[in-house]
Amino acid sequence: MKILSKRKLIKQAGFARRPLKGGKKRLTPLDRVYQEIALLKKLDHPNVVKLVEVLDDPAEDNLYMVFELLNNGEILEVPTTEPLDEETAKRRFQDVVLGLEYLHYQKIIHRDIKPSNLLLDDNNRVKIADFGVSQEFSGGDAEITNTVGTPAFMPPEAVSGSSDKFSGRPLDIWSLGVTLYCLLVGDTPFKSPHILELHEQICNEEVKFPPQCSLSAEVRMLIKKMLDKNPQTRITLAEIKRNNWVTSHGSVVLPSEQQHCHLVTITEEDVEKCVKTIPKLNTLILVKSMLKRHSFKNPLLASKSENT
């Protein structure tokens, strides 16, 4: 479950949305939030975590996003002294590439790709999670106008302050490159306890690999292409899918965009039903308590009778 602030979501929702199918456009900030939630709930891809339900307590500022349960946890805890071997990292990376391509096909920029947001299902397939800072775009340009995300995974164009807007797709590619580096090395390529120093490294320092790393030249080059300081020349998802390291020199062919992506459409009814209102947060707490005890007896009544 992820808890989000309605006030922050409304503030973030000041960008254009796709028109609703068979209905009029919703114009208020809260309606725009609901439209985005309706879209997230209809996402359906093997490499994207399913949003099951969104709960709203009208008396509180929070929205509660309930996602499918993935028991195997995140792909890798970083930092670690036990990174993945290249073959395992490659399989995990292929999954993330397909999930991210699906999101971009839906005109969604994730904005926070990192190991802790990549979860493993029971079959060790990777699913992209946590859409708390994702952003939908309209038209052909995926422009981002505000800076959010995890500092160590953010690209130079997002931290340099040289522009008030930048392209979203290359932003996700940079984060994907930092993530692949983490999987193979066990830590981020740029790190500092001081945020300004971290920004300086991201903007000006080239990516380096520890001397003890026995990584192939091909994966090193791929990471460098994803961590290209210039977003206009940074490698694209289509190019990544054809990369020799990713495809093992053509022995593995990833499905085409047409084969695994379908455009999600939302209706007025989808938006109206996308959030379930709960009268009191106590109801949610009660349900969680019952599930935790594996019992559907009212725990409040049980404790009351025990005390008499």
148 and 211 together in one domain? yes
Q: Which domain holds residue 307?
A: 279-308
Q: Which amino acid is at 283?
A: T
Q: Strand runs (DSSP E) across the chain, as ranges?
A: 2-5, 51-56, 62-67, 108-109, 118-120, 126-128, 135-136, 143-144, 166-167, 276-277
Please state the domain count of the chain.
3
Output the domain CATH number for residue 230.
1.10.510.10
Q: pLDDT value at position 55?
A: 86
Q: pLDDT value at position 93?
A: 99
36 and 75 together in one domain? no
Mean pLDDT, consecutive 10-residue stretches, the chain (308 aa), reads 74 54 57 85 96 84 85 95 98 99 94 95 95 64 69 93 81 98 98 96 97 95 98 97 98 97 94 83 59 48 44
157 and 10 together in one domain? no
130 and 215 together in one domain? yes
Closest to 105 in 3D by CA, of 283, 200, 241, 224: 241
Output the domain CATH number for residue 269.
3.30.200
Please list the active-site residues.
112
91 and 20 together in one domain? no
Cis amide leading into 83 (omega within 30): no
238 and 96 together in one domain? yes
Q: pLDDT value at position 299?
A: 40
Distance, in Å, from the CA atom of 127 to the CA atom of 199, rounded to the nearest integer, reads: 29
Q: Which residues contact 102 (CB under 8 A, 6 or more apart)?
A: 43, 45, 47, 48, 260, 261
Q: pLDDT value at position 167?
A: 87
231 and 114 together in one domain? yes
77 and 63 together in one domain? no
Q: pLDDT value at position 22?
A: 54
49 and 192 together in one domain? no
Instruction: Tell me how far CA of residue 17 lies from CA of 4, 37, 45, 121, 186, in angstroms.
Output: 20, 12, 21, 31, 38
104 and 52 together in one domain? no
DSSP string, 48-105: B--EEEEEE-TTSSEEEEEEPP-TT-BS--SS-SSPPPHHHHHHHHHHHHHHHHHHHH
107 and 218 together in one domain? yes
